[in-house]
Amino acid sequence: MHRIAAGDRVEIHFDAKAVDGSVFDTSRDGQPLAFVAGEEGPLPRVGEALVQMSLGEHKTVRLSPELAFGERRQDLVFSVARNELPDSVSIGDHLEARVDDKEIAVIVRDLDDQQAVLDANHPLAGQPVDIEVEVVSIEPPKKS
């Protein structure tokens, strides 16, 4: 059975999972993702992890927070006056906020009559992420 070598063109299906096992992205409902084995591709560390795998093989690659969605940053958590938000807003709601003429996604973390605490960190910031891969095709480099 052919084992993947650096430089092979490889197609994979993947499931990206949070530490609780919930899938937040997948290729299984569409086309496989193409990589050149041994090189950096659209998913960090996956191209390197493919080397020595075989057709049909599965592997899980754990990405550190830095390689996934970054570390949580306290400077992305800020307060605004409660009256700046819609009356119907609740803790956990996802909103768009304008900061320095730029729209950013925020989550309402805390709320009282006077103020709201908004968090612009990605919900998975500070957490490792698991990328489960399945090799679905291998094509050695074409010889010239």
- CATH architecture of the domain formed by 74-119: Beta Barrel (2.40)
The answer to whether 28 and 35 are in contact (CB under 8 A) is: no
Global pTM reads: 0.79
Report the SS3 class of residue 46: helix
Can you say whether residue 83 is alpha, beta or left, with left for phi > 0 and alpha for psi between -120 and 50 degrees? alpha
The amino acid at residue 37 is A
Q: Do the domains 9-69+126-139 and 74-119 sit in the same CATH topology, yes or no?
A: no
The domain spans of the chain are: 9-69+126-139, 74-119
The amino acid at residue 11 is E
Dig out the tokens for 85 from the structure.
């938000």
Report the SS3 class of residue 6: coil
The answer to whether 89 and 116 are in contact (CB under 8 A) is: yes
One-character DSSP codes across 70-82: ----GGGEEEEEG
Residues 48-102 have pLDDT tens digits of 999 999 999 999 999 999 999 999 999 999 999 999 999 999 999 999 988 788 8
Q: What's the pLDDT score for residue 43?
A: 83
Does residue 106 register a pLDDT over 80?
Answer: yes
Residues 14-49 have pLDDT tens digits of 999 999 999 999 999 999 999 899 988 888 899 999
Q: What's the pLDDT score for residue 144?
A: 67
Q: How many CA atoms lie within 13 A of 74 on its CB side?
A: 0
Query: For 9-69+126-139, which CATH class?
Result: alpha beta
